[in-house]
Amino acid sequence: MLSPRGRLALFSFLFLGWIGWLGYLVSKTRDPIVLSRPQILVSNYVAVLRIGDKDGKPSAETLVAETLKQPAAGPALAKSITVRDLPNLDASHGWRGPGEYLVPLTVMNEQKNILITPVPMSPGFQPRNEPDVRIYPATPEVLRQFQLLGK
C-alpha cells in the first residue's frame, strides 16, 4: 500500500494529467466550422473559390478552383467569376483573409448575376434585417462535412 503522501502524489499527477488532456481538447476543438445544411441545399451551385484580398475585404473577382454542386442541365461555372456580394463580407460571415473557400452560390441570368446564397429561414432561426450569408474556409474538415451532406 502507498503511504498517504504517495497517494497524494499519485492522485495529484492523475488530476494534472486530466486537466492537461482537457486543455488539449479545448485547444483543438475551439471555433469549429459547421456548414449550414439549408444554405447548401437551396443553393444551385457550390464551388471552392480562390478569393483574393482588396483593401482588407474580399475581392468580387474570384477563380473557381473546384465545382462541388451544379444543376444537371446547367452550364459549368467559368474559371473566373464575379460574385457581387463578396466585398460586403467580414469575419462574422466567415471571411478569414485570402484563400480558398467553399461558397454556396445562386447563379442567375446565365452567370451574369452570381450571389452568395443566404441561409434560408428555419424554425427557431430569427432572421436579421439583412440576408445572412456565410462562406466557409475550404479545409479538409469542411469538405468532409459537405460530402456527408449529400448522403
pLDDT at 31 exceeding the cut of 80: no
How far, in Å, CA of 36 to CA of 76, rounded? 23
Question: Looking at 77-81, 113-117, 133-137, which range is the least confident one?
Answer: 77-81
CB-based contact 27:19 (threshold 8 Å) = no
Q: Tell me: the pLDDT tens digits for 60-84?
A: 899 999 989 888 766 677 788 889 8
CA 13 to chain centre: 39
What pTM does this model have?
A: 0.76
How far, in Å, CA of 102 to CA of 98, rounded? 13
Average pLDDT value for residue range 4-25: 94
How far, in Å, CA of 48 to CA of 23, rounded? 33
